[in-house]
Amino acid sequence: PPTIRSFQGGSLRGITANLDHVQSLGINCLYLTPVFLSTANHRYHPSDFMVVDPLLGGEPAFRELVDACHARGMRLVLDGVFNHTGRGHWAFTSLLDAQEQSPYRDWYLPKSFPIVAYGVERHQVNYECWWDLPDLPKLNFDNPGVQEHILDVGAHWVKEFGIDGWRLDYPGEIPPAFWKEFRARCRAESPECVTVGELFGVRPQDVGEGGHFDSLMNYAFGTCALGFTGGDVELRQDDAIGGEYEVKALDAPGFRKEYTEVCRAYQSAHAAGIGLGGGSAHPSMLMNLFDSHDTARALWMLQGDAAALRLLLLMQACAPGPPMIYQGTEVGQVGQLGIEGSGRDPHNRQAFPWHEPETWDHTTLEHTRAVGALRADSEALRRGGLRWCTATSASGTDGDDSGAGSDAAVRSLLVWERFFDDAAHGAGALCVFHSSRGARTGLVTVDT
């Protein structure tokens, strides 16, 4: 079972061997958490950015995986953890050994000498660390050597192994100008290489040609969608994640209001004359997710309500922007300790139960596959605009009515349309979602 220090096994060749399963979900891009040499099980404590961890199979296994993905028409994005290193990184071990005389002294941010990295309490470390954790010394991005090294790393994996992009971990403390150069160096090796920033909240200034990332992890979609699909259950998030990932129950008007604000922020930053995929900020360029290795699993937050999870997957497929599914969601994984236990790391990071198919939720698995096929078959769901629709019950109340007399069932009914201005681009799609566990809508008319 997962613990803070345990290794659960698994390898890159294991992923390659199971690409049939992955592709059956409609997945056309893999995002891998870190694969580089590390002393930590999750590998967010990198020891060498230029070496694939031998425990995962090393560079040969990684090349096999990239090539297998490309042979299937799939793409692969790596996780770049460049804000800090682990204590085992060769530059930091030089600092520990040589102290002030180390040629890498200025790659880090020492406060005094001698540097002490082991046997020291958090908040008492004499060098800058990520979240004051001694095992995560921060890199000094004012140092030209650090900048050049990370730029070389970014270009190396694109050029030598053909990766299709980078998901950039916690990039907010690194200067935006650096990320623009990083993107440029990677694009010089492959013009279609993408960069995705892990930034919570709504950040239109950080995406597009005027910003410094091609896309962002759109947790803002997740907070809205979880709030709507879980509106009839007691959403559990007491130890899910902190910061800006706060989920609150929403009815249909509440979702519409919250998500409109998200879309409007990015739409307003979209540069006229630049089409989607051309690098401009736009809701359709954001990577939509509702859980990940950094949050409790959605099914845990939904108190085990698999029907709500399936509705969530459908909403994700019908929203503007590519959907991101955390491994195990498709078979109903809830976390190592179950509904009653903690949803926090490391319990949300249990390995995929390849050898226990009897534990899978096959209903959710088939639903995930059907939803993936639905999105793949609909140009409108992938590239169309979004237009809200009003649902009105036979009694004359509608989902936008905030008065006390509004129909509860209709307030649980969310409707939008994915459309093209030019019908020659393809048929539109009407998307209808009902989150109530009890109330039926009865006869409803939708104004499109």
- CB distance 246 to 315 below 8 Å: no
Residue 234 among the catalytic residues: no
Q: Where are the alpha helices (DSSP H) in 169-287?
A: 176-189, 219-229, 252-268
- CB distance 87 to 137 below 8 Å: yes
- CB distance 125 to 134 below 8 Å: yes
Query: Which of 9, 89, 2, 3 shows the shortest CA–CA distance to 57?
Result: 9
- Which residues have CB under 8 Å from 423's CB, separation 6+? none
- Which residues have CB under 8 Å from 441's CB, separation 6+? 391, 393, 409, 410, 412, 413, 434
Q: With left for phi above 0 and alpha for psi between -120 and 50, is residue 40 left, alpha or beta?
A: beta
Residue 120 and residue 393: Cα distance in Å, rounded?
64
Residue 88 and residue 36: Cα distance in Å, rounded?
12
Residue 169 among the catalytic residues: yes
- Which residues have CB under 8 Å from 232's CB, separation 6+? 308, 412, 435, 436, 437, 438
**Cβ-count burial of 300 within 10 angstroms (0-12 exposed, 13-18 middle, 19+ buried)?**
buried
**Active-site residue (options: 198, 258, 330, 417):** 198
Is 377 strand, coil or helix? helix
Residue 372 and residue 28: Cα distance in Å, rounded?
10
CB-based contacts of 108-116 (< 8 A; 24+ apart in sequence): 108/137, 108/138, 108/139, 108/140, 109/137, 109/138, 109/140
**Active-site residue (options: 48, 128, 169, 345):** 169
* 335 alpha carbon, distance to own chain's centre: 18
Positions marked active-site = 169, 198
